[in-house]
Amino acid sequence: MSEQEAEMTAEAEQEIEGLLGSMDLRSKLGQMLLGGFDGRTMTSAAMRLIAAYRTGGIVYFSRNVSSPEQLAALTRELQEAAEANGVPPLWISIDQEGGMVARITEGVTLMPGQMAIAAAGSEEDAYRCAYISGRELRSLGVNLNYAPVLDVNNNPANPVIGVRSFGESPERAASFGAAAIRGLQDAGVGATAKHFPGHGDTDVDSHLDLPTVQHDRERMDAVELVPFKRAVEEGVDAVMSAHIYFPALEREKLPVTLSPSVLTGLLREELGFDGIITTDCMEMNAIAEHYGVAEASVLAVLAGADQVLVSHRLDRQGAALNALENAVHGGRIDESRIDASVRRLLRMKWKRGVLTRGAARKLLGKKERDDVPGSLSGSVAESAVEASKPAALRDPESLDTARRVSENSVTLVKNEQGILPLRAARTLAVTCSANVTAFVDESIAGTRGLGHELAELGLDVVDEIVEADEVGPNSDRLAEAAERADIEQIVVGTYNARFNPAQAALVLRLIGLGKPLAVVALRDPYDLLEFPEAPAYAAVYESRPLALGSAAKALLGRIPFRGRLPVSLGEKYPAGWGLRP
């Protein structure tokens, strides 16, 4: 560090300490609360979060998004409200993982998800995808991303992680995760390693109930903790706790989010993490139904959390804030403990350019000097949202990166009888369309299937799209369509058939017709375990339009199958498997 940089750091610390010293307890606690609201413009709930609760940040979901332009305007409104009410500039956070978990899907370069990136096989691409996504988020004023997912997905029955993971290898999850962290943070967006210490080997969705993982510490050091140790070494800005109980790490039956042994003992003291510890949403059933949001918020701070995430309801956000305030006044939490978290949060805002010298001095009522490096020109809100030039979103190079990675991810697992590439023959294409399989998915819209993409490439197609949950009532109709004499081959796109018996039954019924048949897994590659008789099987890991197009090209032989499985599909098809027809 140069002498000038050391001086700048000392000055920054002085500004942060001055700002911290000027805050009353309510304002400090507000910095530790991050909440969400329903709406695409400023609402009374959003204003209350800022003006009354003095929140440290806002979390966006798809309910807040209609277009990039709208989102940039909303961000500006929120930051203006913070400035007008004397609240430090806000974290604007989001779950933009890519693939099937993304809150902004239109008007941006939507990157493939993590398992698709891992299947494509390039850590450099993992960095590039994260950097592009981060750059576009930053141009919209989003400065904190709840990504990447560092869970090692080695349980085929996992209902909530799956393709959100880089796969079953701890080492690959660590190296690809580190690349994604660098990409986001090089773009100026805070990265969040989640879900500590590992949600990959659960068979319960913590949105619905409290999972328990029985692994001993030796196994966790060898598997679950490997990517998180690497993330800490990489300098990740934030780590998100999992609402999971690990008996090997915590004697009392407490989820990690509420466990001092895990958040403070393991993450802070043993692993040496000094960034932000953020909770997963405290309204998830694993917390809300067992402890209550308000009491759990107090327990989380006592455990070592810096940021309490309450994503939805204003009454619960207020209850959490009041509970924390009462805990301090009642002596349950020492105010110095609050100061430590707020100091850490302000330092990270400074590091990411969310809190500038000009903003800090304005909050302190000081006049900004023109000769101070880093002076704020214009309003705090204007600095929080960079000018969104058309070239900043969906530029040709970014789109080419997304396309190339998607095409490289398509994985051929089986190809008996040389069914692939498809012949130029009349084809029934059945697509089980995406449905909400976990709360994190929200609503997934889609009216195009594999048939549309195959037809666009010149194949004679009978296109059938059926919602994944409606496969059962439609199975007779689909089987009758497949039996028609003019249908010479069949393609079925499954969507989490692993958790949908009707889809598996339909595939088995269609296999029984004896016609050439290929299955494409449009999300969970583990679908093959439900119908191992399928003569041809490929995985594309997601059903976004880009992935459907990549799958169609590979099925027709327009591009080669280059992907490799990031997870094992039984002993016959281990991780790393991928045919080259």
Helix spans in 260-415 (H): 260, 285-288, 293-303, 314-329, 335-351, 357-363, 380-384, 396-409
Of residues 579, 415, 426, the one with CA closest to residue 490? 426
At 338, list the tokens: 């609050």
Active site residue 280: yes
Least-confidence region, from 30-44, 167-181, 190-204, 505-519: 190-204
Tokens for 11? 């000055």
Rg for the chain (alpha carbons), in Å?
Answer: 25
Distance separating alpha carbons of residues 322 and 408, to the nearest angstrom: 51
Identify the CATH homologous superfamily for domain 3-381.
Glycoside hydrolase, family 3, N-terminal domain (3.20.20.300)
Contact present, 379 and 368 (Cβ < 8 Å): no
Question: What distances in angstroms separate CA 238 from CA 145, 267, 405, 568, one per listed residue?
Answer: 9, 11, 27, 30
Tokens standing for 431? 């697509």
Where in the chain are the domains? 3-381, 410-555
Distance CA 144, CA 135 (A): 12
Residues 362 and 368: beta-carbon distance below 8 Å = yes
The active-site residue, picked from 237, 280, 524, 527, is: 280
What is the pLDDT at residue 214?
A: 85
Q: Give the pLDDT mean for 530-542.
A: 97
Residue 379 has pLDDT above 70, yes or no: no
Out of 108-117, 142-151, 210-219, 544-553, least confident range: 210-219
Q: Write down the pTM of the prediction.
A: 0.93
Set 195, 199, 207, 215: catalytic member: 207
Instruction: Please tell me the distance from the alpha carbon of residue 570 to that of residue 423, in angstroms, as a whole number.
Output: 30
Give, as one character, the DSSP assignment of residue 424: S
Count Cα neighbours of 491 within 13 Å in the Cβ-side half-sphere: 36
Determine the average pLDDT of the residues in 278-302: 91
To the question of domain 410-555 being in CATH 3.40.50.1700, the answer is yes
Question: Tell me, what's the pLDDT at 447?
Answer: 65
Cis peptide upstream of residue 532 (ω within 30 degrees of 0): no
Residue where the block lists tokens 């090692």? 152
From the list 451, 550, 557, 504, the residue with the least C-alpha distance to 119 is 550
Structure tokens at 68: 């990039």
Q: State how far the Cα of 568 lies from the Cα of 120, in Å rounded to an integer.
A: 16
Using an 8 Å Cβ cutoff, are 133 and 105 in contact? no
Angle subtended at Cα 525 by Cα 520 and Cα 526, rounded to the nearest 5 degrees: 120
- Residue appearing with tokens 């390693």: 193
Which H or E run includes 13?
helix 3-22
Confidence at 578, pLDDT banded by 50, 70, 90: very high
Q: Which residues make Cβ contacts (< 8 Å) with residue 228, sequence separation at least 6?
A: 150, 193, 196, 197, 198, 239, 267, 271
Phi and psi at 429, nearest 5°, equal -115, 115
Determine the pLDDT at residue 256: 94
Sole residue written with tokens 């305007």 = 73
Give the tens place of pLDDT for each residue, 183-231. Answer: 999 999 999 999 999 887 776 555 555 778 888 999 999 999 999 999 9
The pLDDT value recorded for residue 12 is: 86
Q: Which sign, positive or negative, has the C-alpha torsion 414, 415, 420, 425?
A: negative
pLDDT over 90 at 384, yes or no: no
Does 243 participate in catalysis according to the annotation? no
Cβ 247 vs Cβ 215: under 8 Å? no
How far, in Å, are 56, 152, 161, 213 from residue 39 at the CA level? Answer: 19, 34, 27, 37
pLDDT, tens digit, 9 for 90 and up, residues 241-252: 998 889 999 888
Tokens for 348?
């990270």
